[in-house]
């Protein structure tokens, strides 16, 4: 225990001592006044000793001797011994006086125990010994005067137990007080630390608020990053799907490939509009191909603006264009959609622009930063077009005649078989014309085979332009100088003007080749199902017989199938 605490406690006990001294003095005075003849001399010793003790205690306190703990302990022990001796000497005189002296004995017993090192085990035993020693001396004196008495032993044992109880109580109080003081010291230290660090706490608070703001910003950024990651994952998945699709798109129609890419762009980028435009003759397509889809207008499947945008992209050197204005006169379809801004990306194959990919969004400024997704999608679509083109080229080689570029006989047979089945099933007309170059052997013999090849190519080109480019039917080179054309859904009355036009054009055309000018003519045989031929499988044969009839009857003419036509 700290010396300062002991001295402070003693100063607070002085008033309590004065009260006890005063009450003892009052008790003695009452006894003295009650029976003056029977007052023992021990009373005077008690009163005198009490006065001396009180004066000494006051004097020592004034002179600050009580500020020394060893003086305080010794004087307390002296007070304890004095009143214990008085208690022993006067214990049979008066019960009330005994109680007063006992109160003083117990007071100084507890104070002496408290003032010693109660936390030390050795100090506890020393205190017990010092407190019990006066009782032992008194018992010895009693035995010497009156002889050994069991009551004295019992009294000594009871007093020893009282001293032990005193030490136990004081120790418990000390432990509780020590714990309480430690808690107070810790609390005071924390309070001091809080007061000393108030400014630091303010700074910490400011830093925490700043960190909280940064965390909120980071939370927003993290959410944005998470959305971007999810978007990137969707884009990567879409790119993987597209790449897988492209690897299997060789034999697909280019329009189907375009629709697949458009669906992927709309699904991943969630745009309002997407369209693709491809110029003609890219994948052996006779006309430009345009495919588009719009979220707000599902009925919009064709967009004439794509052709205009392709012309702009062709004349521009930019790798992309962003359009944010859609005047109705220039964009009659897009101006009626929710598109607010549009990204136009040129499609390039072998260094040449062959089309465009258009992506339109209902949000402004969405394309101000070039989107990486399109940088990957466009090359993949270019690869798909390249694959389809290569396959179409191989298919074209397999299906066309090497000299003229029109359908060969094998492919014509397939096309014609489909039309025959359709004509029978749907009860539709089907007209066939077979024609042969008149006197072709003389052309070869006179001008050479190279000139003869040019004549064949010229006639094939005229037939292709008149029939296939006009989408009226299909033609093929059926033999060496023999050709055949089929007109689905055309009866004989509708077919004759077309065939006459072809015949007149051939007859009026000259071929200039290798320094020679060559005129030419053809003989044409025509048959039609079901009007002239009720068996669709006999159409070509009947047309062939009609052609030979025309050759045998003057050449350079058109012969229509009829009853007079027999096998030649």
pLDDT by residue (tens digit) across 151-208?
A: 666 666 666 666 665 665 666 566 666 666 677 777 777 777 666 667 776 777 788 7
Tell me which architecture the domain covering 231-391 has in CATH.
2-Layer Sandwich (3.30)
- Buried-state track 177-196, b at ≥16 Cβ within 10 A, e below 16: eeeeeeeeeeeeeeeeeeee
Cα 561 to its chain centre, rounded Å, is: 75
Structure confidence at residue 393 (pLDDT): 79
Structure confidence at residue 394 (pLDDT): 84
Nearest Cα neighbor of 46 from 93, 10, 13 is: 93
Q: Which backbone phi and psi does 510 adopt, to 5 degrees?
A: -115, 150
* Class of residue 487 by CB neighbours under 10 A (exposed 0-12, middle 13-18, buried 19+): buried
Count of other CB atoms within 10 angstroms of residue 96: 12
* pLDDT over threshold 50, residue 469: yes
DSSP 517: E
Nearest Cα neighbor of 138 from 76, 90, 103, 99 is: 90
Q: How far apart are CA 345 and CA 321, in angstroms?
A: 7
Percent of the chain with pLDDT over 90: 26
pTM flag (> 0.85): no
* Residue 114 falls in which region: left (phi positive, over 0), alpha (psi -120 to 50) or beta: alpha
| Element holding 326 (H helix, E strand) | none
* Superfamily of chain region 400-560: Reverse transcriptase/Diguanylate cyclase domain (3.30.70.270)
- pLDDT tens column, 405-419: 899 999 999 999 999
Q: How far apart are CA 155 and CA 80, in angstroms?
A: 18
Structure confidence at residue 319 (pLDDT): 78
Q: How far apart are CA 241 and CA 264, in angstroms?
A: 9
Q: Decide if 218 contacts 238 (C-beta within 8 A).
A: no
Q: How far is CA 486 from CA 221, 479, 532, 539, 544, in A?
A: 67, 16, 15, 10, 13
3-state secondary structure of 213: helix
- pLDDT tens column, 140-154: 776 676 666 676 666
Q: How far apart are CA 227 and CA 525, in angstroms?
A: 70
Mean pLDDT computed over 368-372: 63
**Spans of all domains in the chain:** 3-193, 231-391, 400-560
- pLDDT tens column, 55-92: 777 777 677 666 666 676 777 777 777 777 777 676 65
- What does pLDDT average to over the chain? 79
């Amino acid at each position: 225990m700290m010396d300062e605490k002991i001295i402070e406690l003693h100063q607070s006990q002085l008033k309590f001592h004065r009260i006890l001294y005063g009450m003892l003095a009052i008790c003695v005075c009452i006894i003295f006044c009650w029976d003056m003849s029977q007052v023992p001399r021990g009373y005077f010793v008690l009163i005198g000793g009490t006065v001396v003790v009180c004066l000494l205690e006051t004097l020592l306190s004034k002179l600050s001797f009580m500020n020394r703990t060893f003086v305080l302990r010794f004087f307390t022990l002296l007070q304890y011994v004095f009143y214990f001796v008085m208690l022993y000497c006067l214990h049979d005189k008066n019960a009330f006086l005994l109680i007063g002296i006992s109160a003083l004995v117990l007071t100084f017993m507890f104070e002496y125990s408290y003032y010693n090192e109660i936390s030390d085990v050795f100090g506890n035993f020393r205190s017990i010994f010092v407190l019990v020693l006066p009782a032992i001396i008194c018992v010895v004196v009693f035995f010497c005067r009156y002889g050994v008495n069991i009551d004295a032993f019992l009294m000594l044992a009871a007093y020893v137990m009282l001293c032990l109880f005193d030490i136990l109580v004081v120790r418990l109080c000390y432990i509780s007080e020590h714990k309480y003081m430690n808690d107070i010291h810790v609390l005071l230290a924390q309070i001091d630390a809080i007061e000393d660090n108030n400014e630091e706490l303010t700074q910490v608070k400011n830093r925490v608020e700043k960190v909280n703001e940064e965390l909120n910003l980071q939370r927003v950024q993290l959410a944005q990053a998470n959305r971007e990651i999810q978007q990137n994952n969707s884009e990567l998945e879409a790119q993987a799907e597209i790449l897988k699709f492209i690897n299997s798109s060789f034999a697909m129609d280019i329009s189907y490939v375009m629709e697949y890419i458009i669906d992927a762009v709309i699904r991943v980028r969630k745009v309002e509009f997407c369209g693709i435009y491809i110029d003609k003759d890219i994948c052996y397509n006779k006309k430009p191909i345009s495919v588009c889809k719009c979220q707000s207008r599902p009925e919009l499947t064709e967009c004439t603006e794509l052709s205009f945008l392709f012309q702009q992209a062709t004349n521009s050197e930019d790798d992309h264009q962003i359009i944010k204005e859609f005047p109705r006169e220039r964009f009659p379809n897009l101006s009626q959609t929710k598109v607010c801004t549009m990204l136009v990306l040129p499609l390039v194959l072998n260094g040449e622009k062959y089309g465009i990919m258009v992506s339109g969004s209902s949000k402004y400024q969405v394309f101000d930063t070039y989107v990486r997704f399109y940088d990957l999608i466009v090359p993949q679509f270019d690869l798909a077009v390249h694959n389809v083109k290569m396959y179409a080229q191989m298919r074209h080689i397999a299906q066309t005649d090497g000299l003229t570029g029109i359908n060969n006989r094998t492919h014509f047979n397939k096309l014609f078989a489909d039309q025959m089945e359709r004509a029978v099933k749907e009860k539709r007309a089907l007209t066939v014309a077979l024609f042969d170059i008149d006197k072709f052997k003389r052309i070869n013999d006179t001008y050479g085979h190279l000139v003869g090849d040019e004549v064949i190519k010229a006639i094939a080109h005229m037939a292709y332009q008149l029939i296939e480019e006009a989408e009226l039917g299909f033609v093929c080179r059926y033999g060496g100088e023999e050709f055949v054309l089929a007109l689905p859904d055309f009866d004989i009355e509708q077919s004759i003007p077309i065939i006459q036009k072809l015949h007149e054009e051939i007859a009026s055309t000259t071929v200039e080749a290798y320094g020679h000018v060559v005129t030419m003519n053809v003989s044409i045989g025509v048959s039609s199902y079901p009007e002239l031929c009720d068996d669709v499988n006999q159409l070509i044969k009947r047309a062939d017989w009609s052609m030979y009839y025309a050759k045998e009857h003057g050449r350079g003419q058109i012969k229509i199938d009829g009853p007079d036509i027999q096998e030649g």
